[in-house]
Structure 1
Amino acid sequence: MFIRNERSIKEFMQLYPVVAWLIIIQLALWLLTGFLQTPLGTLIENWGMGINFYISQGEYWRLLTAIFLHADLMHVLFNSFALVLFGPALEQMLGKLKFLTVFLGGGLAGNIATFLLGPSIYAHVGASGAIYGLFGIYVFMVAFRKHLIDQSSSQIITVILVIGLLMTFIRPGINIYSHVFGFIGGFAIAPLVLNNVRPYMPWVRRQYVDDGSIQFDPDRWHKKQRNKRIFKNGLWIFLGILVVLGLFSRIF
């Protein structure tokens, strides 16, 4: 489910427009607010950050806008990578509207919990709660909709969730409320959006690039297995890097 085999960025955008536009929006906002530091970016940051005090004064839009803002380059790149990895399968399975509902629902659940449970002066940004909302959907499938997710994907989700939750509690500067309640929000939404959905079938969505020719690759099975091994090895390396970064962030 998590192997990306699109031939180009254009094809990715055609197949998964909601995921693509979410990434474009959050990268563009980071450029305005973090890299270029334009006056417009400063205005967006001042009026978009999730600041509990201002939310308590009636600025409730911050619960939503904070999802799309990020603190630094690594923050926005990590969340964009997570969207590329975990968003496409859900967008195809659920459809554009349901997928967007899950993404925003997880983000809002995390930000509302941050507002209700966090300090009054607490400030936060990021799509982490929304990403954990997607994890909530996947974990619901692992537990109650096993026909929608293959065994290897179930194992990957379980490992990533465990490591993610551990990092949530041991790494400084993490919005624990957003991660935990974003996940709970996605898990709670799951039974409402998973009715009458089919498993992820990327080959169905790729029919529009079929030129009608008949091709046979006798080595296709070995290539598929090799790609899976490469993906799994790369994933473990990536997770290891995250753990090391998390540990070093505690030291320095």
Structure 2
Amino acid sequence: MFTRSESFQSFLRLYPVVSVIVGIHLLFWLLFQIPLPSIRISLSLLEGYNAGIAYGEYWRLLSPVFLHISFGHVFFNTISLILFAPALEKFLGKTKFILLYVGAGIIANIATFIFEPLQYVHIGASGAIFGLFGTYLFMVYFRKGTIDKANSQIIISILVIGLIMTFINSNINVIAHIFGFIGGFILAPLFIKKRNHFVHETHYTPTRRPKFQLRKGKWTYKEGFWLIFFIIILIGILSRLF
């Protein structure tokens, strides 16, 4: 599900939307490398500049999703897109996938506008990509017939690592990561109905796992995960406000 074995040509044919988004990432990154003031000024009109949004430049709620300056930034976001987006494009179809991806990115940027100061400037696809993680987590818990158990565990592991790295790394738009994830999670039920087949199956031998228990009452792993997850989100939001 998250490993790529396609050739370049077959990837373009099977996942046209993801391919176009990757192409846009690379195109804008290359434009940022051209040392011409006119190009830099033009690109600055697409950045997520909160003051610009406040003055009615609402396209800035979407355009930052496709912009990257540094090689590391475009590389990791593009690799994440190539790994995690194809399965959703294939499952949802082109139109629904675009609406989900763009919707999560816009939600992330609206939250950034609300929580960050007017002088704040940001770019990057991380909010939309975290929206994909939010969608996958919704599928794991509320559309159990769409992802097999092995891939469910991979998704949860990746999400936990992503959240940890969000708060460890500097120069990260924490708000966009958190609310992009939330956006993908709340948009998912609009596009994903109950189905009785897997997006992808991996050979997996189920094992019985003991439930995590406290002396008073019983907690499952699922409940413990949600408790820790919301505590992390709360800490992240509060750290941006105070």
TM band (smaller chain): 0.7 to 0.9
Aligned to 2:44: 46
Higher mean C-alpha deviation, range 105-114 or range 163-172: 163-172
Is 1:13 matched with 2:15?
no
Is contact 1:93–1:199 with CA below 8 Å preserved after alignment?
no
Is 1:138 matched with 2:131?
no
Structure 1 segments (4+ residues) deviating >6 Å: none
Identify unmatched segments of 5+ residues in structure 2.
Answer: 204-242
Give the counterpart letter for 1:30 in structure 2: W
What is the SS of the residue equivalent to 1:36? coil
Separation of aligned partners in 1, 2:5 and 2:23: 20
Indicate which of 94, 97, 109 corresponds to 2:107.
109
Per-residue deviation, 1:45: 1.8
Per-residue deviation, 1:144: 0.9
Per-residue deviation, 1:171: 1.4
Separation of aligned partners in 1, 2:129 and 2:174: 13
In angstroms, what is the RMSD of aligned CA positions?
1.7
Q: Deviations over 1:113-172 (max 9, x none)?
A: 000111111000000000000001100011111211111211111111111111111211
Identity, in percent, stands at 50
Aligned to 2:30: 31
What is the SS of the residue equivalent to 2:177? helix
Q: Which protein has the bigger helix share? A: 1
Identify unmatched segments of 5+ residues in structure 1.
Answer: 203-223, 226-252
Aligned to 2:126: 128
Give the counterpart letter for 1:2 in structure 2: F
Aligned to 1:235: none
Closer, same or farther: CA 38–95 of 1 in aligned 2, 3 Å: farther
Separation of aligned partners in 2, 1:154 and 1:131: 17
- How many residue pairs align between the two structures? 202
Q: Deviations over 1:45-104 (max 9, x none)?
A: 211000111111111111111111013111011111001100110000000000011110
Separation of aligned partners in 1, 2:38 and 2:198: 43
Per-residue deviation, 1:31: 0.2
For residues 69-218 of structure 1, the aligned pairs below 5 Å read 69-195=67-193, 199-200=198-199
Separation of aligned partners in 1, 2:38 and 2:54: 25
Is contact 1:18–1:91 with CA below 8 Å preserved after alignment?
yes
